[in-house]
Amino acid sequence: MNRLILLGNGFDLAHGLKTKYQDFIIDLLKKEIRKALSVGEKKRDGFKYNTTKTKEGLFLIETKVSQGVSGDNGFRRKLESITDVKGLTDLERSFGVEFSFPDNLKEGTFIDYDVMPRKKRVKYPETIIKKTYNIMKEGGRNYNWVDIEGMYYDSLLEIINVRDKKGNKMYNEDVKDNVKFLNSELDFLRNRFVEYLHEVTDIPHTVNNVAQGHFWNGFKGKFIEREIEKLELKEEDHYPQNIQILNFNYTDTIYKYGNHSNSFENREVHVDYNFIHGDIKNLDQNPIIFGYGDETDDHYDVMEKLNDNELLRHIKSFGYFKTDNYYRLLRFIEQSEGYQVFIVGHSCGLSDRVMLKRIFEHKNCKSIQIFYYEWEDEDGQKFNDYTTKTQEISRHFDNKNMMREKIVPEKHCSSMSELSLVRFPV
């Protein structure tokens, strides 16, 4: 039997890398403040402004900073020390910093007429940045990247479901412009996130040989006793014959563990690294795929029938055609030996539904083993996300009996900490 290992953002986070959406958006807004101070347009009310927009003319962020803090070392130290939303709100309150997120759609307001000359007559959803930052600022939920991709899709549906005064759906040129606006925001987030990832991951980290060996033992090691008994594996089949590491991250954290042959057991097994959504170190050959991937959604057929390719620009399936990564995955799961799935730091959300459904429901998929995230509260009580993971996985199964047969019970699973991951110094 083979082993398919799904790596998600939780894998990078477990190494201390700041790759959460919150980390990215905080860094983005700190850069906006620096930009306002250095190149912002001066206003006579004693403030400097900087406005960031997409190339299609969609206004995203307006940053207002008091000119008086330009030479204030205390302000700059405070700015550099900020690591969370509370720090940004403290800065806004104490140093005359203000973020605003312009309404792009009120007629005659914040429209870049050099790019989009027509006056808008169709309501546009709030930008993703505005929605998420305001909720984070109010102490609301923490967002995963799968949430951002889902929010993009929800905004897309909101745009195409615009109705006229008689209640009829309409898909006119103004609606099409809004689709382009939305796609331009996702392009902006993707491009800035790639830049950010280079900054937070281009730091040399070394993992010693002993740590490498322990790590690879976890990925290449023997199947658990429950699986051996349940699947009636012969002794010579107690270890995976082939392994594919399906990396949903854009980063190469897995390479920090050196050659997989450094493992203490099962050294000769073949390991294939598949960066399914792109690689920031190899963008020409493996470009970034960022968008939504649930073609089974009822609304998807409606979008296809509108006959506008702009609606499909950030649907993941079309990104998979740019490389042979998806084909390599299919070739792996079609092997007659069958395969076990390891889930390591992947949310298993709907934005990857088409792919995950194919993996989980395939007749060759024998079991799904979850490596859950575990934490303690202030009283030392332990919690984990095993149940949350199973709930996410369940959405990819039509046959719930099959799901229950394949998911390994919690008592036979382990936390990610048992994989001997190394936490990198920041």
Q: How high is the pLDDT of residue 110?
A: 40
Q: How high is the pLDDT of residue 54?
A: 84
Is the alpha carbon torsion for 101, 107, 109, 114 positive or negative?
positive
Q: Is 339 helix (H, G, I), strand (E, B) or coil?
A: strand
| 155 vs 328: CA distance, rounded Å | 32
Q: How high is the pLDDT of residue 104?
A: 57
Q: Is 212 helix (H, G, I), strand (E, B) or coil?
A: helix
Pair (229, 137) in one structural domain: no
Pair (33, 77) in one structural domain: yes
Residue 338 CA neighbour count, 13 Å, CB half: 15
Pair (155, 211) in one structural domain: no
Q: What is the mean pLDDT of residues 319-324?
A: 96
Pair (270, 408) in one structural domain: yes
> Is the per-residue pLDDT at 193 higher than 80?
yes
Regarding beta strands 365-372 and 242-247, do their DSSP bridges make them parallel or antiparallel, or are they unpaired? unpaired
Pair (253, 145) in one structural domain: no
- Of 184, 201, 218, which residue constitutes the final position of a domain? 201
Q: Is 287 helix (H, G, I), strand (E, B) or coil?
A: coil
- Of 201, 223, 241, which residue constitutes the final position of a domain? 201
| 133 vs 103: CA distance, rounded Å | 15
| 175 vs 67: CA distance, rounded Å | 40
Q: Percent of the chain having pLDDT more than 90? A: 64
The total of structural domains in the chain comes to 2
Largest CA distance in the chain: 80
- Of 176, 201, 226, which residue constitutes the final position of a domain? 201
Q: Is 271 helix (H, G, I), strand (E, B) or coil?
A: strand
Instruction: Give 361-402 pLDDT, tens digit per residue.
Output: 999 999 999 999 999 988 889 999 999 999 999 999 999 999
Pair (231, 369) in one structural domain: yes
Q: How high is the pLDDT of residue 123?
A: 63
Per the DSSP assignment, residues forming a β-bridge with 343 are 6, 370
> Is the per-residue pLDDT at 117 higher than 70?
no
Q: Percent of the chain having pLDDT more than 70? A: 94
Q: DSSP class of residue 122? A: S
Q: Which two tokens stand for residue 82?
A: 């900020």
Residue-range definition of the domain harbouring residue 372: 2-18+206-419
> Is the per-residue pLDDT at 101 higher than 90?
no
With contact defined as beta carbons under 8 Å apart, do 177 and 118 qualify?
yes
Q: What is the mean pLDDT of residues 204-226?
A: 91
Flag the least confident range among 201-205, 228-232, 245-249, 299-303.
201-205
Instruction: Give 233-283 pLDDT, tens digit per residue.
Output: 999 999 999 999 999 999 999 999 999 998 999 999 999 999 999 999 999
Pair (217, 110) in one structural domain: no
Instruction: Give 53-93 pLDDT, tens digit per residue.
Output: 887 778 889 898 888 787 778 888 899 999 999 999 888 88
Considering the domain boundaries, does residue 425 fall inside one? no
| Residue 122 φ/ψ, nearest 5 degrees | -120, 135
- Other beta carbons within 10 angstroms of residue 174's beta carbon come to 19
Pair (263, 321) in one structural domain: yes
Flag the least confident range among 6-20, 45-59, 217-231, 345-359.
45-59
